[in-house]
Structure 1
Amino acid sequence: MYLPQRLSALPPLLCLSLAAQTAPNGGKAPAPAPAAAPAPGALKPFADVVKEAKEHKGLFTLWTKDDKVWIEVKPEQLDMPFFFAVSSTRGTGERGIYGGMMDDSHLVSFRRVGNSLQLLAKNTTFTAPEGSPAARAVAEGFSDSLLSSAPVLSQPHPERKSFLVEANALLLKDIPMGATRLEATYRQPYGFDPSNSFFEKVRSSEDQAAFRVQAHYALSRIMLPPIQMPGAPPMPFVPPPGTLEDIRSLFLGWHFSFAKLPEQPMAPRLADDRLGYFATTRWDFGDDTRVDPKVHYIHRWRLEKKDPAAALSEPKQPIVFWLDRNIPEKYRPAITQGVLAWNQAFEEQGFKNAVQVKVQPADADWDTHDARHASLRWLTGTDIGFAIGPSQVDPRTGEILDADIGIGEVWARGSRTEARETLPPKAQDAFLSRHDHSLCTYAAEAHQEMGFALDLLETRGEITPGSPEEDAYVAAVLKDVITHEVGHTLGLRHNFRASTIYSMEQISNPEFTKTHGLTGSVMDYNALNLALKGQRQGEYVMSTLGPYDHWVIEYGYKPLAASEEKGALAKIAARSSEPQLAYGTDEEALGFMGLEGMDPEVNRRDLGSDPLAFYQKRLSLSKELWERLQARTFQDGEEYQPLRRGLLRALGQVGLSANLSAKYIGGVVHLRDHAGTGRAPITPVPATRQRQALKLLETGIFSVDAFRFKPEFLSRLTTDRFGGPLNADPSPAQWVLRTQTQVLAQLFQPAVAQRILDAPDKLTNPKEAFRLSELYDALQGAIWTELKSGREVSVMRRNLQREHLRQLSAQVLRANPLTPADARALAREALRALQPSLKAAPAKTGFSKETKAHFADCLAIVDESLKASLQRLTL
């Protein structure tokens, strides 16, 4: 979600379609052989190399003939920095490999070494003043990277002194590492095949040269599934591509752009951790008096007033977003509104029409992938459920040079399609050390929210499927998602604390929210505002910017004189303690290994100043939905799939509410305040709130009556017969268990236990602290109630009890090294307390044979766990 560049008047681009004229190689992928460099003195005259070729003048003059492309490099272009951007134009349509997405960028230069031309990715992270001794040390300490090289083919031009290099040899290489991505995704040894790769189009203009590549990847052999032996544990196997005619061969599309960098680098603006901008970090070794050599520059567009003296002026160069011609016309109005919503904030900083939207003509001969076109593009695939707002920056200053927002076409099908948890392709590329900063799945989560809301409203009879009201609802959610993603392309990070600034009463008032917003920011993952049946219904969706959005744009884009900037920015950032400007981002919200973070006020998909009240409401709405689904009648010929989809969505809301409620237990509010606000940066959650959250979990997901479904409802949870290898006879008990398992894992985290144990030392009255023993006792009491009541134990309850026992035993037998000793001791005490009740259970009447066997099995686990732990302690 990062890097853009402005586009105003578009220079005419010369376009040429090139057809590949190569023979197939039987699906094999030969390793690319380096081209042999001509011997010194053997270079051909310039005119002989490009004889009968067509000339295309521009930033780099290109020469084309048949399937060959030559680049003319001028002497002054050697060692000159250029912006080199890569986009994906074709994918496999599944598992994160999609066409139409921004990929990577570098600041590059060309270096001639003898008769070879090297394309270098310049290392701009480590710097020192030019010409200083420190600059020499930096040059010796850090390396550039070689992206590609090719032989020089011609003698210098007799007048221009330029020379020729073959673009086929330089750029028909696996620069984007497509083979590695394919292997990481499919676990098949795909190799890049240069002999069957070709330039689909090349274009040249005054400020850029663009190359559209069809890159062939092939398998020389197919990795077969492992042989599954009878009775052996399942062997892991990643399925091969499911969208290809022949898995041995595929084409990925790449778009390479070389563009001019700004003649005068933009003045960088320093980042401040009290508000959220993406930032470029540079190590400045020129000042040895600073404790930390790192300098952080925010990502922002270069906006300058046409009339600096005017209070409100159009910018010299507006931020123009092009709607790609592949976006369905039906959704263009909502997308346009989502983009232009940001002009409210820019007008406050003196810019009129700072953000603009244009539509790419259907007959345009230029590509929105070009580095000079910020764009929005429709993405298609078999499993796309997201939108993403990446941008690319000048690494020297943080100036945004390009942005390409991708929108999953799942929005075209409203509530009737399930948005899967598919992440953008970079999610699987972390090991490649690519230059990604974070990941946004807001659209996927917003689509899930929308599906749940529409299911509920349809079962209430408040919205009719396929009606104009449903279309308007979908458009409102899409607009909100686009505003969020555009915010990323303006440089903004997530703000997951923004949802807590308004009360439930305020967000139920549509007149209030139309002016102030549902929350503090569109950069939160804002939940939809759904009222309980019979209560006042406010706006469903965030319809305007929030106060934080205006403030953060002021910090990044307010015109400031260089002499005043430092003091003015400090004054703006000092407002961070104002309640309406509350900020917390991914670091506070995200935990580890799928578990939630420590701050219960920094969440995705909550709403209102009392998050626990919101979670309780969502639990009630979820139960309302599945009860309405159980009461639904069907006309002859109707399909039952909505029942399964609706129940899964309802259980998804239960899981969300339960996991976020669990953050209160052992939770710590972490503020980004600097000195002078009067607030402590770290404050344990009050014990009363922790107990309130624990009670919600006891009744909401751990009680005997938390999940009750009618037999006739469960027998109708069928699925799409054409939808692939889904279980036609699902187990709702396993669906419920997944949520319960996740919450228990959250509560038994070593970090949670440590924070609970540390809390008394941070309180003036330690006796008021929430105790770790309260957590263990409450869970045990809620999960094992049948041992006291003598009530029959259902399969859902047996599953939960086994999982609770498994996690307790793991703390005793295989404790995480970070688990505090007190937590292990309490786990052992909990097991010891279960022993007598499990021993006495068989004597009680009313238990089925399955339940008695379950208790006997649990007792054996407890006995072995305690025995093993005692043996370990005596060693």
Structure 2
Amino acid sequence: LDRGAPEPIRSALMEGASWWNQAFEAAGFIDAFQVKLLPEGADPMDARYNIIQWVHRSTRGWSYGTGVSDPRTGEIIKGHVTLGSLRVRQDYLIAEGLLSPYVNDSTVSPEMEKMALARLRQLSAHEVGHTLGLAHSYASSSEGRASVMDYPHPKIDLIDGNISLAHAYDDKIGNWDKVAIAYGYTQFTEDTDEDEALSEIISKSLKNGLTFLSDQDARPQGGSHPYAHLWDNGKDAVAELRHLMEVRKIALRNLGKNSIPKGTTYAKLEEILVPIYYLHRYQVEAAVKLVGGRNYRYAHKGDGQLITEEVPGDLQIMAIDALLKTVEPHNLVLPEDLLAMIPPRPLHVARTSELVELRTSPNFDALSAAATASDLVFSLMLNPQRASRMIEYSSRNTNQPGLELLINKMIAATWYQKPEKGYLGEIQHVVNLNLLNHLIRLAADESANPQANALAYQTLLKLKGRLAGKLPASPNSNTLANRQYAVRLIELFQNDPDDFETNKAPEIPAGSPIGMDMRCGF
């Protein structure tokens, strides 16, 4: 471990990396995996040392676990982990927003520090796992935290209506990690049939309910696996989404002056607000993969694993309904007393990609926040691959919900709702136009099944007719303008679909680490 890591971070990194000794001991290597401070004067690039390097960057960039391997044999010669010192900042902000701990101008909450250090232990273990040759294991969060090679979201508990971070991150190596080390490192005796022994390791893990799914299965845009996700928790993606929406509601209600230390500019409230307002974003990504979803494994002939199966239709309907709940105006509104506490940024304190993109500069934009949150949901629900799967699956199995059902539910939850007045009404207008833009995009998307284009286009025609017919009876001038504008957008798209460009919602603030591609870090 790099001597430059300060305490208590140094001890957390050493402890997390040392978790791998649990896996190696399970594979028969007693006290063989050790973590020590780098000797005085040693060069971190020296190939004799596997190194965890602590570095400073201008942003909270990705952490990395890589290695130098012998190209002739594949032997790992040197493992090298790079951890960014700002990486823990996001957890710190989340903890401030969830706990609002500065009552009576108190000092940093011990619960916040505990959470931050728990995250660093997990991070250290994860990146060291890459240097040992392990890939991401993204189904593990649905199997009881079975691997540190998953991307963990903090587990947030509600106890008597109060938020607790006591179990935010795991404190040990996972069961899948022990399987991976046993498979990759066990030294068999000469009289052992190695292929048979390795197959037995995998067979036993399958019987214990452990599976392995990696990067290509976990991405939300177009992804279809119901259990392999990034930054999620639990087996039931819908239940966890509902849970996080409840946590988010409580945290937003409490957010305010007790969320920042004494002497801190009130402008910092926006930095704390963003990860709380979008707290559900990754669980949205998990839940949406149930829609048009398909469960599968990396099955081999004779291994007894599931090959493929459709996600049950009733579960998909539950996911659709839970996703549409997140874009209801009362779930996107922000408390007036909180909005009154967020001033423009002070001199020399610049806006960054971690903050809401403003259309009301220099003042905070509450409607832009609602726009980005709803845009995320609609972009995932109407993803062309997802839409195409829904058409195919429902044509082959009438128990599967079709794209038409999905679109009808989306329209009913937005355009066909009677808007309220004021702030809630303007949120509804923003949400409505976001959905319209995504329907237009799907109607024109050449990568989608043409029937998906047709159903989206048909919906636009029906919506145009309904809105045009209701224009004289619109309840207020703002809603009338919203409907007239929607009719005009549909007409423009009809007249010149090739050159028509939809309006784009502001880009959602950065949630994952910033500034580098994903590769193997988290």
Tell me which interval the TM-score lies in, with the shorter structure as reference length: 0.7 to 0.9
Give the 3 Å change call, closer, same or farther, for CA 830–613 of structure 1 in structure 2: same
Give the drift of 1:494: 0.8
Match of 1:389, SS state, is strand
Aligned pair 1:494/2:136, yes or no? yes
Match of 1:483, SS state, is helix
Partner of 2:413: 782
Aligned pair 1:689/2:315, yes or no? yes
Q: Distance in 1 between matches of 2:419 and 2:111?
A: 50
Correspondence list, 1:450-461, <5 A:
450-459=92-101
Of 734, 737, 745, the residue aligned with 2:368 is 734
Q: Distance in 1 between matches of 2:494 and 2:69?
A: 58
Q: C-alpha offsets along residues 593-612 of structure 1, whole Å, 9 cap, x if unaligned?
A: xx252212101121222121
Correspondence list, 1:284-363, <5 A:
323-362=1-40
Aligned pair 1:660/2:289, yes or no? no
The code of the aligned residue for 1:805 comes to L
Q: C-alpha offsets along residues 734-753 of structure 1, whole Å, 9 cap, x if unaligned?
A: 22222322222222222112
Give the drift of 1:463: 12
Q: C-alpha offsets along residues 408-433 of structure 1, whole Å, 9 cap, x if unaligned?
A: 1126xx6xx4xxxxxxxxxxxxxxxx
Aligned pair 1:817/2:493, yes or no? no
Give the drift of 1:696: 0.6
CA contact (8 A) 2:237 2:283 kept: no
The code of the aligned residue for 1:769 comes to Q
Of 425, 438, 449, the residue aligned with 1:794 is 425
Match of 1:358, SS state, is coil
The code of the aligned residue for 2:169 comes to V
Give the drift of 1:532: 1.7
The code of the aligned residue for 2:441 comes to A
Q: Distance in 1 between matches of 2:157 and 2:420?
A: 39
Correspondence list, 1:395-474, <5 A:
395-410=71-86, 417=89, 448-459=90-101, 465-474=107-116
Correspondence list, 1:531-546, <5 A:
531-534=157-160, 539-546=167-174
Q: Distance in 2 between matches of 1:658 and 1:564?
A: 46
Q: Distance in 2 between matches of 1:463 and 1:500?
A: 39
Of 754, 773, 777, the residue aligned with 2:404 is 773
CA contact (8 A) 1:458 1:464 kept: no
Structure whose alpha-carbon radius of gyration is higher: 1
Give the drift of 1:715: 3.1
Q: C-alpha offsets along residues 667-712 of structure 1, whole Å, 9 cap, x if unaligned?
A: 11121122335554221211111100111111112x2322122334
The code of the aligned residue for 1:493 comes to A
Give the 3 Å change call, closer, same or farther, for CA 602–462 of structure 1 in structure 2: farther
Q: Percent identity?
A: 25
Q: Distance in 1 between matches of 2:111 and 2:331?
A: 33
Q: Distance in 2 between matches of 1:634 and 1:369?
A: 40
Give the 3 Å change call, closer, same or farther, for CA 778–480 of structure 1 in structure 2: same
CA contact (8 A) 2:105 2:258 kept: no
Of 487, 490, 494, the residue aligned with 1:859 is 487
Q: Distance in 2 between matches of 1:565 and 1:386?
A: 37
The code of the aligned residue for 2:401 comes to F
Match of 2:330, SS state, is coil
Q: Distance in 1 between matches of 2:109 and 2:316?
A: 44
Of 738, 756, 765, the residue aligned with 2:390 is 756
Match of 2:331, SS state, is coil
Give the 3 Å change call, closer, same or farther, for CA 845–806 of structure 1 in structure 2: closer
The code of the aligned residue for 1:346 comes to F
Partner of 1:588: 217
Q: Distance in 1 between matches of 2:335 and 2:161?
A: 27
Give the drift of 1:641: 3.2
**TM-score, normalised on structure 1?**
0.52
Partner of 1:424: none
CA contact (8 A) 1:338 1:479 kept: yes
Q: Distance in 2 between matches of 1:611 and 1:390?
A: 31
CA contact (8 A) 2:16 2:123 kept: yes
Partner of 2:183: 555
Aligned pair 1:393/2:393, yes or no? no
Match of 1:548, SS state, is helix
Aligned pair 1:806/2:441, yes or no? no
Match of 2:255, SS state, is helix
CA contact (8 A) 2:253 2:335 kept: no
**TM-score, normalised on structure 2?**
0.85
The code of the aligned residue for 2:308 comes to I
CA contact (8 A) 2:102 2:259 kept: no
Give the 3 Å change call, closer, same or farther, for CA 730–713 of structure 1 in structure 2: same
Give the drift of 1:865: 3.2
Q: Distance in 2 between matches of 1:596 and 1:408?
A: 31
Q: Distance in 2 between matches of 1:680 and 1:357?
A: 39
Q: Distance in 2 between matches of 1:596 and 1:818?
A: 12
Give the 3 Å change call, closer, same or farther, for CA 791–778 of structure 1 in structure 2: farther
Q: Distance in 2 between matches of 1:782 and 1:470?
A: 38
Give the drift of 1:723: 2.5
The code of the aligned residue for 2:29 comes to F
The code of the aligned residue for 2:4 comes to N
The code of the aligned residue for 1:569 comes to L
CA contact (8 A) 1:520 1:582 kept: no
Task: Identify, as 1 or 2, the structure richer in helix.
Answer: 2
Give the drift of 1:635: 9.6
The code of the aligned residue for 1:549 comes to D
Kindly tell me the number of residue pairs found equivalent between the two proteins.
Answer: 485
Give the 3 Å change call, closer, same or farther, for CA 403–572 of structure 1 in structure 2: same
Q: C-alpha offsets along residues 555-576 of structure 1, whole Å, 9 cap, x if unaligned?
A: 0011124662122112222335
CA contact (8 A) 2:296 2:307 kept: yes
Q: Relative contact order (C-alpha < 8 Å, sep 6+): which is higher? A: 2
Q: C-alpha offsets along residues 332-388 of structure 1, whole Å, 9 cap, x if unaligned?
A: 2111111111111111222122211222344x2x31111221111111122134322
Give the drift of 1:324: 1.9
CA contact (8 A) 2:219 2:230 kept: no
Match of 1:683, SS state, is strand
The code of the aligned residue for 2:59 comes to D
CA contact (8 A) 2:52 2:82 kept: yes
Give the 3 Å change call, closer, same or farther, for CA 698–526 of structure 1 in structure 2: same
CA contact (8 A) 1:619 1:657 kept: no
The code of the aligned residue for 1:615 comes to L
Q: Distance in 1 between matches of 2:56 and 2:283?
A: 31
Q: C-alpha offsets along residues 434-457 of structure 1, whole Å, 9 cap, x if unaligned?
A: xxxxxxxxxxxxxx3453134312
The code of the aligned residue for 1:393 comes to S
Aligned pair 1:622/2:248, yes or no? yes
Give the 3 Å change call, closer, same or farther, for CA 630–781 of structure 1 in structure 2: farther
Any stretches of 5+ residues in structure 2 without a counterpart?
A: 353-360, 499-522
Give the 3 Å change call, closer, same or farther, for CA 596–631 of structure 1 in structure 2: farther
Give the 3 Å change call, closer, same or farther, for CA 818–576 of structure 1 in structure 2: farther
Q: Distance in 1 between matches of 2:51 and 2:490?
A: 60
Aligned pair 1:716/2:347, yes or no? no
The code of the aligned residue for 1:828 comes to Y
Aligned pair 1:847/2:476, yes or no? yes
Give the 3 Å change call, closer, same or farther, for CA 400–628 of structure 1 in structure 2: same
Give the drift of 1:790: 7.5
Correspondence list, 1:184-263, <5 A:
none
Partner of 1:183: none
Match of 2:329, SS state, is coil
CA contact (8 A) 1:497 1:601 kept: yes
